[in-house]
Amino acid sequence: MTQTELLEDQLSKNIKGLPNEILQEVLDFVLFLKEKRLSELLINDIEKELRNLDKNELLHLEKEFENYEEM
């Protein structure tokens, strides 16, 4: 059994018998964590794209002015 499967099994066993109000809180928390993780992934992707854009912009400028001193 994988670590993930073990954790999912433990979670499933430990929430059995809890009142609906607590189950709703657990569900809300799980959804919050998933949304937070997705947000972090999107931010990382955006930051990576911006770094690449910066590199491309720099390359463009370097090319544009590579013969500037010769003029």
- Position 71 scores a pLDDT of 61
37, 45 Cβ separation under 8 angstroms: no
pLDDT in tens, 39-54: 999 988 888 887 777 7
Distances (CA, A) of 41 to 28, 37, 38, 45, 48: 20, 6, 5, 6, 11
| pTM attached to this predicted model | 0.60
Q: Where in the chain are the domains? A: 19-70
Share in percent of the chain as helix, strand, coil (round to 5)? 85, 0, 15
